[in-house]
Amino acid sequence: SVITGASHGIGREFALQLAQRGFNVALVSRTASRLAQVAQEIEDLPGVKVSTIQHQIDFASAGKEEWAALQQALEPLDVGILVNNAGLNHDPALFASVSGAEAGAVVSVNSFAPVRVTSIVLPGMIARHRGLILNIGSIVGGAVPLPHMAVYSGTKAFILSWTQALATELATAKTGVDVRAVHLGFVADAMADFVKESAAIPSPKCWVQAALARVGLQGGAGRAFVSNPYWAHAFEEFF
């Protein structure tokens, strides 16, 4: 399995929980020290014997050489699961006050990076006739546009549309590769450090447990190839 944004929060939990299920894990993130820490956590899991690799890349600024290095690291792997989780937010603000550099970074991390990483691992999945791609989306943009979060909202709307189009292509061609947009609301992690865990706001561990439990099941307010696995988030998106 390959997890982007694997150094903390939801990405870290995907790495730990997939390792507990016996999957080897490729950890991809921008902070090498945090990647090493997560790799050590996986190594310390009782009764778990899997392999991990770590690859440091900053999707906000990666150039030709950085992408080539990631491709070289991932292409030889037998990737069964890809979790496109890396994300970048911006503070609520009128679009006109968001700098071009900040807006570009959000688009690069949230929209361009999932497309590029998927293009690296998808040919191998198709050749092996199996694979699962989870694109982590959001109620913001994925369900409703949100003023004052226009760039972030737009990137998540892109994830929804791209996922549905790609999933339809792969299903029609009977490739054996399944693609889902997985929506969420507030989760008590670094992306939303102003909220606290509650029944309606899950921890990353709780949310990832729900996400993995719904793999293979239909759902998402009646939309194809969309899942909203946590009950409170699904309730919010429905209404």
Tokens of 81: 């699961």
Range with the poorest average pLDDT among 3-7, 10-14, 217-221, 228-232 = 217-221
Please count the other Cβ atoms lying within 10 Å of the Cβ belonging to residue 229.
Answer: 23
130 and 80 Cβ atoms separated by less than 8 Å: yes
Q: Which residue has the higher pLDDT, 224 or 178?
A: 178
Q: Mean of the pLDDT values across residues 62-79? A: 97
Q: Mean of the pLDDT values across residues 93-108? A: 95
Tokens of 62: 């990666």
Per the listing, tokens 């982590």 go with 136
Domain that holds residue 146: 2-237
Q: For this structure, is 64 an active site residue?
A: no
User: Does pLDDT of 120 surpass 80?
Assistant: yes
Which of 92, 83, 120, 65 lies closest to 192 in space, CA to CA? 92
| pLDDT computed for residue 131 by the predictor | 97
What CATH number does residue 16 fall under? 3.40.50.720
| pLDDT computed for residue 233 by the predictor | 62
Which of 211, 237, 77 lies closest to 134 in space, CA to CA? 211
Tokens of 66: 């950085």
**Options 49, 64, 156, 196, the catalytic residue:** 156
- pLDDT per residue as tens digits for the range 190-219: 555 556 667 678 888 987 988 898 887 665
| pLDDT computed for residue 230 by the predictor | 60
| pLDDT computed for residue 29 by the predictor | 96
Helix (H, G, I), strand (E, B) or coil at 213: helix
- Judged on CB neighbours under 10 Å (0-12, 13-18, 19+), 119 is exposed
Mean pLDDT score across all residues of the chain: 90
| pLDDT computed for residue 163 by the predictor | 97
Task: State the total domains in the chain.
Answer: 1
Q: What percent of the chain has pLDDT over 70?
A: 90
- From residue 161, how far is each of 141, 157, 172, 193, 222 by CA, in Å? 10, 6, 17, 28, 15
Q: For this structure, is 152 an active site residue?
A: yes
| pLDDT computed for residue 142 by the predictor | 79
User: Does pLDDT of 34 surpass 80?
Assistant: yes
Tokens of 61: 């600024």
Question: Running DSSP on this structure, what letter comes out for residue 144?
Answer: B
Tokens of 33: 């020290």
182 and 135 Cβ atoms separated by less than 8 Å: yes
User: Does pLDDT of 32 surpass 80?
Assistant: yes
**Options 49, 64, 152, 230, the catalytic residue:** 152
| pLDDT computed for residue 56 by the predictor | 97
| pLDDT computed for residue 140 by the predictor | 84
